[in-house]
């Protein structure tokens, strides 16, 4: 079952062509890396899928049905959740309140019984070894803790397709391990992940496959075992990589 299919997506901002052709399919339960240099269009594709911006051309299918992602709320209702380093937390509220608020349907209001939501928030935070932060005010957390809570907020929304846009670049090794554990958990639940990162070691340790982007275009999708990191780097840059890069 194909969870997400993008066909020939194009997007320009004025004279800047951010995406000239993004074409990819992600299976249900697949963790797909999106690898490309700065400015290659990864975040633009993420934002299109999240409904924040509209593509100029192209088709998107979710679970093999055409789908026009017209707004962030609509994408969210379809189960597409994006997490990035752009924090959307209310810093003067507790972690728990932030996690509860992101999942409460508007019609219920704030004062309904949130027992189930509370349990879910606690479960996710326990899995992330962050349950000690539940009652803390977000402004009292370190920046990295805030990124992890932002990530927890994405998980609590039960994503069918989770897009992780470079959240790991600021994190320490142990924190990245927490993110990886949670992505594996999501995969086991049948969700799909689009994992944007430039750290090869992360991509090789967690992803099933990788789509390489260059200059707004998806160049190729390969299984993770099919190419070594120098081959991926040369696909990314369009040049033969002569020097061996250390594993980063
Ligand atoms: P990546 O995430 O791969 O680094 P982006 O998708 O952020 O790449 O950007 C792709 C190109 O589109 C870049 O040249 C960037 O400057 C441009 N771009 C992205 N968003 C905007 C915007 N809102 N306005 C103008 N140009 C943009
Ligand atoms: Mg980006």
Q: Are 2 and 161 in contact (CB under 8 A)?
A: no
Average pLDDT of the segment spanning 85-91: 93
194 three-class SS: strand
For residue 110, pLDDT beyond 70: no
Give the torsion sign (CA, 163, 206, 98, 121).
Answer: positive
- The counts of H helices and E strands in the chain are 8, 10
pLDDT at 239: 80
pLDDT digit string, tens, across residues 9-62: 999 999 999 999 999 999 999 999 999 999 999 999 999 999 999 999 999 999
Q: How far is the CA of 176 from the centre of ligand 2 (A)?
A: 18
Q: What is d(CA 24, CA 97) in angstroms, rounded to the nearest whole number? A: 37
Ligand 1: does its nearest atom lie under 6 Å from the Cβ of 218?
no
| pLDDT (tens digit per residue) in 221-241 | 999 999 999 999 999 988 876
* Average confidence (pLDDT) over 90-97: 96
Could you tell me which residue, 146 or 114, shows the higher pLDDT?
Answer: 146
Cα 45 to Cα 194: distance, rounded to the nearest angstrom: 10
Q: Is the CB of 43 within 6 Å of ligand 1?
A: yes
Which ligand is closest to the CA of 166, given by its number? 2
- Enter the pTM of the model: 0.92
CA-wise closest residue to 3 among 27, 34, 33: 27
75 lines ligand 1 (CB under 6 A): no
**Could you give the percent of the chain with pLDDT greater than 90?**
84
> Mean pLDDT over all residues of the chain?
92
Rg from Cα positions in the chain? 18
40 lines ligand 1 (CB under 6 A): yes
Is the model's pLDDT at 246 over the cut of 80? no
Residue 105 predicted with pLDDT over 90: no
Predicted local confidence at residue 116, as pLDDT? 83
CA 196 to chain centre: 7
Cα(34)–Cα(209) distance, rounded to whole angstroms? Answer: 9
- Kindly state if the Cβ of 13 falls inside 6 Å of ligand 1: yes
Write out the residue limits of the CATH 3.40.50.300 domain(s) in the chain: 1-79+160-237
Question: Residue 106: pLDDT band by 50, 70, 90 thresholds?
Answer: low
pLDDT over 70, % of the chain: 92
Which residue's CA is the nearest one to ligand 1's atom 22?
A: 13
How many other C-beta atoms can be found within 10 angstroms of the C-beta atom of residue 160?
Answer: 19
Tell me which residue has its CA closest to atom 13 in ligand 1: 39
Q: Ligand 1: does its nearest atom lie under 6 Å from the Cβ of 41?
A: yes
Residues around ion ligand 2, judged by CB within 5 A, are 43
Say if residue 245's pLDDT is above 80. no
Task: Give the pLDDT mean for 192-216.
Answer: 96
Residue closest via CA to ligand 1's atom 15 equals: 39
Q: Tell me which CATH code domain 1-79+160-237 carries.
A: 3.40.50.300
């Amino acid at each position: 079952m194909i969870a997400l299919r993008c066909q020939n997506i194009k997007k320009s901002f004025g004279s800047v062509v951010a995406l000239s052709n993004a074409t990819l399919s992600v299976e249900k339960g697949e963790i797909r890396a999106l690898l490309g240099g700065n400015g290659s269009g990864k975040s633009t594709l993420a934002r299109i899928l999240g409904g924040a911006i509209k593509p100029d051309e192209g088709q998107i299918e979710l679970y093999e049905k055409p789908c026009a992602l017209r707004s962030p709320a609509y994408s969210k209702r379809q189960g597409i959740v994006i997490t990035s380093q752009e924090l959307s937390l209310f810093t003067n509220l507790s972690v728990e309140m932030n996690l509860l608020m992101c999942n409460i349907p508007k019609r219920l209001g704030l004062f309904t019984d949130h027992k189930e939501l509370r349990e879910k928030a606690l479960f996710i935070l326990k899995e992330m070894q962050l349950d000690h932060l539940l009652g803390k005010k977000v402004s009292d957390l370190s920046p990295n803790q805030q990124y992890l809570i932002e990530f927890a907020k994405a998980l609590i929304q039960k994503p069918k397709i989770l897009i992780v846009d470079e959240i790991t670049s600021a994190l320490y090794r142990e924190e990245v391990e927490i993110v990886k554990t949670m992505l594996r958990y999501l995969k086991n639940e049948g969700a799909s992940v689009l994992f944007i990162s430039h750290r090869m070691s992360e991509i090789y340790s967690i992803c099933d496959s990788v789509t390489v982007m260059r200059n707004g275009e998806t160049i190729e999708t390969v299984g993770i075992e099919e190419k070594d990191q120098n081959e991926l780097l040369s696909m990314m840059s369009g040049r033969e990589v002569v020097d061996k890069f250390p594993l980063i």
